[in-house]
Amino acid sequence: MKPTVALSIALAIAANAAHAQTSPAADPISSLVGQLELEKYKATIKSLTRFGDRRQGTERNRQALDWIEAQLKAYGCSNVERLQYQFTEPAVRGKPAVAAGGGAGGPPGQGGSTLFGNRAPTGVNTDPMKQPDERLRALNAEQTPQGTSLRENVYCTKIGKTRPDEMYIVSAHMDGIGFGEAANDDGSGTALVMELARIFSAPGVETERSIRFALWNNEETGLNGAAAYVEQRKNLQGIESPKGSGKYPEPRWLGMIQHDMMMFDHGMPVPKLDEAGKPVLDAKGHQVYVLPKDQRAEADVNIEFQSNSKQAEASARLAWDFRAANDKYATNYPAAVGCHMTNTDSTPFMDLVPSISLRENERGQQIGSGWNPHWHQPTDLYSNYSDKDFLLGLNAAQTTLAGVAKLVGAKVVKP
């Protein structure tokens, strides 16, 4: 564990400022990482929560897409585009629906592992009346329409100076469910990708290779937005268009980095104690467990690949590259590498290109054991996370920014 984990948020912000003061000539990656700010990251998440849970197929989802696109353009992102696909309701999470007209359902989640420890119930809230906030309940009132209709992803591209035909994909999903604000799942990942797009698109930042910043739709229905992208774009990789132009609408994929649920790492349920410090029992004499309110001391940034994928070896190398980036550039939280990436938008890519996912709360273990009480619930609200939680997400952003910056040969020049 890094010793800075226990420091105050004020010291964390000071550490970020120290990064920014590093000479760009000495280390351009440190200069870029130093531009990540806790308050900006929080503000972007807060703005996303204005659209409620951003459930796919709804007007609030479309409004969120419009806002994300406008922000990317304001950052100076080049080639802001949308990818359209047809999606058919209903769909069951983990059993992908067929996306007509060029799209395709994502494969079921693979991998996962058994977690030994205290467990809590899990589930997806489908009852809007469980949201006590009347304003938010009204905002989330529209249900997804049945039948087949159009969906969209949005993305922009930082074009490489010397190798525009090669790129890394940095992504998150912008849709959510549960009748809350989807602040962590996945406003936290969406904000991370948007912050990286802002920094890499700033004047004076150059990269040798390209970076695509993608915000997927329909993750919650079975990874359909990411799967549609793979189906429509995989055979266009590295093709110059028009020929001789030096332009590559779909550069060859070198790696895919997904971000899903960046902020919550509070640990397993613990025994509930009475005022005397004795265990509380229920009516049947069973021990009562409660989920910790505060972040656990051993919180970390998870970096996961899938050991069952065709690109497992290369994905593992990519994961360890990001672990090294965390060791050098993250200010507060360490990183841990795992091999059970599952049920997130990197899955449709993982047999085609080295793919990893950051944070996702050790999805195959902790989420499945009920360690996150806000997962797909009305309580996934901005107000239910502390600065330590937000700082964990910012450290994931530091990790990805540093890892990608090295891979694409980023440098800072005078604009």
- Whether residue 122 is predicted with pLDDT greater than 90 in this model: the reply is no
Distance between CA atoms of residues 394 and 299, nearest Å: 13
Distance between CA atoms of residues 261 and 359, nearest Å: 6
pLDDT tens for 246-265 read: 999 999 999 999 999 999 99
Q: For position 415, what pLDDT does the model report? A: 65
Distance between CA atoms of residues 112 and 134, nearest Å: 38
Report, as an integer, the average pLDDT of 6-24.
49
Q: For position 23, what pLDDT does the model report? A: 46
Return the exposure string of 229-245: e unless at least 16 CB atoms fall within 10 Å of the residue's CB, then b.
bbbbeeeebeeeeeeee
Q: For position 301, what pLDDT does the model report? A: 96
Average pLDDT, whole number, for the chain? 89
- Whether residue 232 is predicted with pLDDT greater than 60 in this model: the reply is yes
Q: Are strands 147-158 and 78-89 parallel, antiparallel or unpaired?
A: antiparallel
- What the block records as the tokens of 62 is 């479309």
Q: Give the model's confidence band at 78: pLDDT under 50 very low, under 70 low, under 90 confident, else very high.
A: confident
Q: How many percent of the chain have pLDDT more than 70?
A: 86
- What the block records as the tokens of 307 is 């050991």
Domain 3-412 belongs in CATH node 3.40.630.10: yes
Q: Output 101 or 6, whichever has higher pLDDT.
A: 6
User: Residue 87 forms beta bridges with which residues?
Assistant: 149
- Contact between residue 145 and residue 55 where contact means Cβ atoms under 8 Å apart: no
- Contact between residue 257 and residue 360 where contact means Cβ atoms under 8 Å apart: no
Report, as an integer, the average pLDDT of 47-69.
98
- Whether residue 384 is predicted with pLDDT greater than 60 in this model: the reply is yes
Q: Output 184 or 101, whichever has higher pLDDT.
A: 184
- Contact between residue 341 and residue 355 where contact means Cβ atoms under 8 Å apart: yes
Q: For position 77, what pLDDT does the model report? A: 92
Q: For position 95, what pLDDT does the model report? A: 41
Give the single-character DSSP code of 7: S
SS3 state at 188: helix
Residue 161's alpha-carbon distances to 211, 257, 407, in angstroms, are 11, 21, 14
Q: For position 185, what pLDDT does the model report? A: 95
Q: What is Dmax (Cα atoms) for the chain?
A: 78
SS3 state at 263: coil
Q: How far is CA 235 from the centre of its chain?
A: 25
- Whether residue 361 is predicted with pLDDT greater than 60 in this model: the reply is no
- Whether residue 112 is predicted with pLDDT greater than 50 in this model: the reply is no
Q: Where are the alpha helices (DSSP H) in 96-166?
A: 134-139
pTM of the model: 0.89
